[in-house]
Structure 1
């Protein structure tokens, strides 16, 4: 360790056990987190390269970490490994002419949004945790968010990046070009790779003009079936800028905290928005109102008032922390093709009943990405075991419906046992071959994904 410390600025290498304890787990709270050798907090690509050259030479594992908000255990510390946090890498440059931004990975998603907004621009990907999650972590997990139904996920906005490979080699991929077919699409390979192929030290982001004012539609339903019918009716006619779902548990958990007057008797609630330009937003809102009413909504509310609309969006964003106050969560991220969404939601309810655990379902309904929240008491061994059984059964259900075990949170360590069931042995073998080629000693984020 001394030889590494000599090549880093003072304070960049931390071995204090009390500080290390705060970095052992991400938000997934993986109980199998190990005791790291040290924590490294670099500020430049060159320092990251120095760390990886040293780790490669000494065969020391390195676990990359962003803001620690990951929900799949992708940043879980390993015994005798280095934790490499990018939290101090926080520079950004915005080019309004090319509508791009070059950002270091430690910036929070919200900070990137604010920086580009000063130039009349917008960075669309918006995880519910956008105020606390880092742009580097977003790239590493291919994060999504509420507006993905219309605008896509992180990979759709990453034009280029700088990456440090396992042996310390620095490579620059892509750049501020909207079209570029030169060579293999290596940038896409690293987005979503969860720190297993290299450490992202800079991203070049595609930006859009500022989003136009939105019209918001809120609808409640007495059954899950009518709610899912409305979702399909809406997406069959237009592409909203947001289409979110909350079940009865989430509605009541949010109402307990925010006292908004939400309908506690509803089985489900949709929050939909349109950002079509000019009067077209109101026209699209009218289409969504009609779709909800014809599908059997018990109540439909529409507003063009930005503050009212944002209040309902904030309620949806608050659903996870609200449900979390009822117990410890096992948080899933399964998605299915839209026509199978109803089967997924009803199947999750059946699993919850069979395993006798509380499961709340919230969803980015417009793209079929659900977040089942399994609530349990970790001091109750039997309930915890049943919660973990439900966790696995929900992923198996999603796979059986032609879906995925993760739409935006990543595989990490908590879901890797189910990855082969989704992608098959041939893809797993190909993945291992790519990993071995880029990281022959297996030092980058060992135990994640593979």
Structure 2
């Protein structure tokens, strides 16, 4: 153990000092095409821990790089020193009483902040495409912008205050007068230096004018020199220099933003033009109009997404010279929206278009347009040749030069053989992104990239005097070219700023400023082939906020990065060593396999599918012999499980839940349900419906001995609504096979699903060539059987059937609530969450849906086998549930067990709530 790691282990809890080879590789991976493996990963949860890490790093002369979500694209979040990973302790959010400002910790996800602000009709100004994954620390440190915020609503211009920790450990709070007074005394040299730099810069009219000119368009190349001309007070200069500093000057431990209005009324139009010139002429006309966003897509960008559903058919007929603008207009009222739409259409009048432009206010249509636009970058990445990486560059031009610059960019891409390259961008700001694929496996390919970058610099800087980085940050990628863009005088200012803040070059060295002209060609990330189902991954990190094991073990991105390394070693004949051993637990055993990652992944990669495949190869802790026995003996499995539950309750009544939980390794839970029992065939008249109770509800009974079991509740509900439920023959010996499929036993699981299918076909046969409706009561199992029965039988999950068929037949008495709602992963993936919300809203006035809670992490049996996954996945639920919330509902029995254990509140199927509210009597929480 190195002296540095020994020092960190003394000052941080052991779990926060990560030194194993697997996680150093995985946690050190970001969205860029660079790779450095940190010497150690230190998870920091408080300012005191940040100060301690900085002190230890300085004592051992090792660099420190702060990392939030790692969605940055220019290499600013990788290091071979200390990677300080921002933990949940920095995920704070304080909304002002009038919501005009919000005070945030750097660990908050941007999209979650906007979710909390939405009920106030507000949002933060920056709106990067990665906002549902990136964190406030990165948004501020990179001065991230996006499609609608332009240059007026970015972090620099909406900054109201911040709290920073300098390289020497000093804390400055710009919103605290005592902190300011103390800092003015302790750091007079720093403040005097900034004051002198600002005064000298403002006095140099040519330099000041140059800086103002450079920031009229988007610009994140180098430091925010506009702070020197916009402000005179050195504290204001300091605060605004933090924005876009990429962790090279200090650590932002808190930031206060002035929020902006989120207009409720929106309209979007996807307008096609015969040429780039025509599209850019439209941009110039739209610039002074009240439009919120104008996104440019060249023909190649359109071609990369033209297969997406819902796009106008005309997209397939466009010429190679065509382009499109995605235009959005927003307003407070419908009347004002229409006025702005009319103004935008008026601006387009007389410009050649492929078809007449038309705006849509349909929310689904507009969302589809924007989803397609955001999918252009990953679409190219997904189509790349295995082994290559995808690169997105980010430049800006004066808007009057946009058309010629776009054509020149297209020509450069062709010149250097990047025929797959696409161009899109935020046209109102002259900001273009161009995406291409690159092979870094040979010196010749690296040299091709180097020549291309040189030509890009010539084009952007020498020909158009634009920005080499508009919003993605300088990072390592453009550090060698900062002086090329800014010139010696301005770059000298930047070097003086760095020296004032970080004289020992401790903070993120090599980022923003570099003396190495080849820095952008070093430490390039390998992308070896691993598995066909994940080779398309570009390691963007969009998946991570939804993953229940993220920050416990690995996220989907990190699992893929780890498996790529293991695949590389295998191909090279190298020993997997400790990386392979650790991957069994970190990569496989703690993966919930829920598939939520695929809903955030721009190309739909389900990392759970990779986990199941690898488990099936015996890389986890599965046994095909056990699986084969289960197929033939599931009735015995169900009976043994019920007996085990009964014995567990007997023991727990004597020694207590905690003792049984400890002895069982966490498998026994607080609030463990009673042993279940198979239901009996219903007797009665009504409309026939086939009900297959999933094994979860048959094995795990009610939360208390006094309650009915789930199958009993559903049978009662169906009968009450005028249905005659019938159960498939031998149902208690049947299982859909989901539990084996999750373990990678695809063949055994298929046998079980086939047996269920045969039983359902028989039970649902109406004798006239048709079939009665079929329902199941566990969302995960329902989705599995829906796929299995596709084209043969229609099967509905209970909440879907209840929404469609029971609500119209039942008289409901609403409860006041609050009642917590947990939306199961399968419900999210199938998009039936709308029906579930409608169903519970018909029963309860106050429904609580905790923010920041996605998959519960129980994952069938994972909550019993690796209970730490369930606890970690639900770590945010406690503060999100109000004290008066005394119950919760969901759609999966095992999820409900985990939720009950972790929250201390009984969670049951939504069927219980519907049954209670349809009894014809007043109900209360």
TM-score bracket, shorter-length normalisation: over 0.9
SS at match of 1:351: helix
5 Å-filtered alignment, 1:26-65, equals 26-30=30-34, 33-65=35-67
Distance in 1 (alpha carbons) for counterparts of 2:309 and 2:169: 49
Alignment partner, residue 197 of structure 1 = 249
Is 1:18 paired with 2:22? yes
Q: As a proportion of its length, which structure holds more strand? A: 1
Distance in 1 (alpha carbons) for counterparts of 2:148 and 2:175: 25
Contact 1:214 1:275 in 2 (8 A): yes
**Could you tell me which of 423, 426, 450 is aligned with 1:364?**
426
Q: As a proportion of its length, which structure holds more helix? A: 2
How far is the alpha carbon of 1:367 from its aligned partner?
Answer: 0.7
Structure 2 unpaired stretches of 5+: 178-230, 514-925
Distance in 2 (alpha carbons) for counterparts of 1:150 and 1:3: 43
Contact 1:74 1:413 in 2 (8 A): yes
How far is the alpha carbon of 1:293 from its aligned partner?
Answer: 4.3
Alignment partner, residue 305 of structure 1 = 362
Structure 1 unpaired stretches of 5+: none
Is 1:70 paired with 2:132? no
Distance in 2 (alpha carbons) for counterparts of 1:293 and 1:380: 51
Alignment partner, residue 208 of structure 1 = 260
Query: Compared with structure 1, are the counterparts of its residues 356 and 50 closer, same or farther at alpha carbon in structure 2 (3 Å cutoff)?
Result: same
The two structures, once aligned, show a CA RMSD in angstroms of 2.1
Alignment partner, residue 391 of structure 2 = 330
Q: Which segment is superposed worse, 52-61 or 414-423? A: 52-61
Alignment partner, residue 135 of structure 1 = 136
Is 1:246 paired with 2:297? yes
How far is the alpha carbon of 1:151 from its aligned partner?
Answer: 4.9
How big is each residue's C-alpha offset from its partner over 1:62-90, in whole Å with a ceiling of 9 and x where there is no partner? Answer: 01111111111111222xx1001114321
How far is the alpha carbon of 1:421 from its aligned partner?
Answer: 0.9
Q: Which segment is superposed worse, 289-298 or 10-19? A: 289-298
**Could you tell me which of 348, 353, 358 is aligned with 2:414?**
353
Alignment partner, residue 734 of structure 2 = none
SS at match of 1:227: helix
Q: How many residues align?
A: 442
Q: Which segment is superposed worse, 206-215 or 160-169? A: 206-215
Alignment partner, residue 287 of structure 1 = 343
Contact 2:65 2:84 in 1 (8 A): yes
Alignment partner, residue 332 of structure 2 = 277
**Could you tell me which of 390, 409, 420 is aligned with 2:452?**
390
SS at match of 1:171: strand
Contact 1:357 1:387 in 2 (8 A): no
Query: Compared with structure 1, are the counterparts of its residues 223 and 210 closer, same or farther at alpha carbon in structure 2 (3 Å cutoff)?
Result: closer
5 Å-filtered alignment, 1:93-104, equals 93-97=94-98, 99-104=100-105
Query: Compared with structure 1, are the counterparts of its residues 214 and 349 closer, same or farther at alpha carbon in structure 2 (3 Å cutoff)?
Result: same
Alignment partner, residue 108 of structure 1 = 109
Distance in 1 (alpha carbons) for counterparts of 2:374 and 2:174: 34
Query: Compared with structure 1, are the counterparts of its residues 52 and 258 closer, same or farther at alpha carbon in structure 2 (3 Å cutoff)?
Result: farther
Query: Compared with structure 1, are the counterparts of its residues 310 and 34 closer, same or farther at alpha carbon in structure 2 (3 Å cutoff)?
Result: closer
SS at match of 1:114: helix
Contact 1:330 1:391 in 2 (8 A): no
Contact 1:126 1:145 in 2 (8 A): yes
How far is the alpha carbon of 1:239 from its aligned partner?
Answer: 3.8
Is 1:229 paired with 2:285? no
Query: Compared with structure 1, are the counterparts of its residues 55 and 156 closer, same or farther at alpha carbon in structure 2 (3 Å cutoff)?
Result: same
Contact 2:290 2:340 in 1 (8 A): no
SS at match of 1:392: helix
Alignment partner, residue 217 of structure 1 = 269
Decide which structure has the larger Cα Rg and report it. Answer: 2
Q: Which segment is superposed worse, 382-391 or 107-116? A: 382-391
How far is the alpha carbon of 1:297 from its aligned partner?
Answer: 1.1
SS at match of 1:304: coil
Distance in 1 (alpha carbons) for counterparts of 2:233 and 2:110: 29
Contact 1:159 1:187 in 2 (8 A): no
Distance in 1 (alpha carbons) for counterparts of 2:413 and 2:38: 36
How big is each residue's C-alpha offset from its partner over 1:164-208, in whole Å with a ceiling of 9 and x where there is no partner? Answer: 1111111112479xxx98654221110000110011111111112
5 Å-filtered alignment, 1:167-206, equals 167-174=168-175, 183-185=234-236, 186-206=238-258
Q: Which segment is superposed worse, 353-362 or 137-146? A: 353-362
Alignment partner, residue 725 of structure 2 = none
Contact 2:394 2:472 in 1 (8 A): yes
Query: Compared with structure 1, are the counterparts of its residues 258 and 441 closer, same or farther at alpha carbon in structure 2 (3 Å cutoff)?
Result: farther
Alignment partner, residue 85 of structure 1 = 85
Alignment partner, residue 12 of structure 2 = 8
How far is the alpha carbon of 1:6 from its aligned partner?
Answer: 1.5
How far is the alpha carbon of 1:345 from its aligned partner?
Answer: 0.3
Q: Which segment is superposed worse, 150-159 or 87-96? A: 150-159
Contact 2:310 2:368 in 1 (8 A): no
Contact 1:150 1:241 in 2 (8 A): no
5 Å-filtered alignment, 1:430-445, equals 430-445=493-508
5 Å-filtered alignment, 1:313-324, equals 313-324=370-381
Is 1:414 paired with 2:477? yes
Distance in 2 (alpha carbons) for counterparts of 1:143 and 1:348: 23
Distance in 1 (alpha carbons) for counterparts of 2:260 and 2:460: 33
SS at match of 2:395: coil
SS at match of 1:64: strand
Q: Which segment is superposed worse, 119-128 or 333-342? A: 119-128
How far is the alpha carbon of 1:289 from its aligned partner?
Answer: 2.4
Distance in 1 (alpha carbons) for counterparts of 2:382 and 2:309: 13
Distance in 1 (alpha carbons) for counterparts of 2:23 and 2:500: 34
5 Å-filtered alignment, 1:257-268, equals 257-258=308-309, 260-261=311-312, 263-264=315-316, 265=318, 267-268=322-323
Distance in 2 (alpha carbons) for counterparts of 1:277 and 1:259: 28
TM-score by length of 2: 0.46
> Which structure ranks higher in relative contact order (CA pairs < 8 Å, sequence separation ≥ 6)?
1
How far is the alpha carbon of 1:346 from its aligned partner?
Answer: 0.8
Contact 1:148 1:367 in 2 (8 A): no
Query: Compared with structure 1, are the counterparts of its residues 259 and 322 closer, same or farther at alpha carbon in structure 2 (3 Å cutoff)?
Result: farther
Query: Compared with structure 1, are the counterparts of its residues 41 and 355 closer, same or farther at alpha carbon in structure 2 (3 Å cutoff)?
Result: same
How far is the alpha carbon of 1:376 from its aligned partner?
Answer: 3.0
How far is the alpha carbon of 1:394 from its aligned partner?
Answer: 2.0
How far is the alpha carbon of 1:52 from its aligned partner?
Answer: 0.7
Alignment partner, residue 781 of structure 2 = none
Contact 1:125 1:151 in 2 (8 A): no
SS at match of 1:361: strand
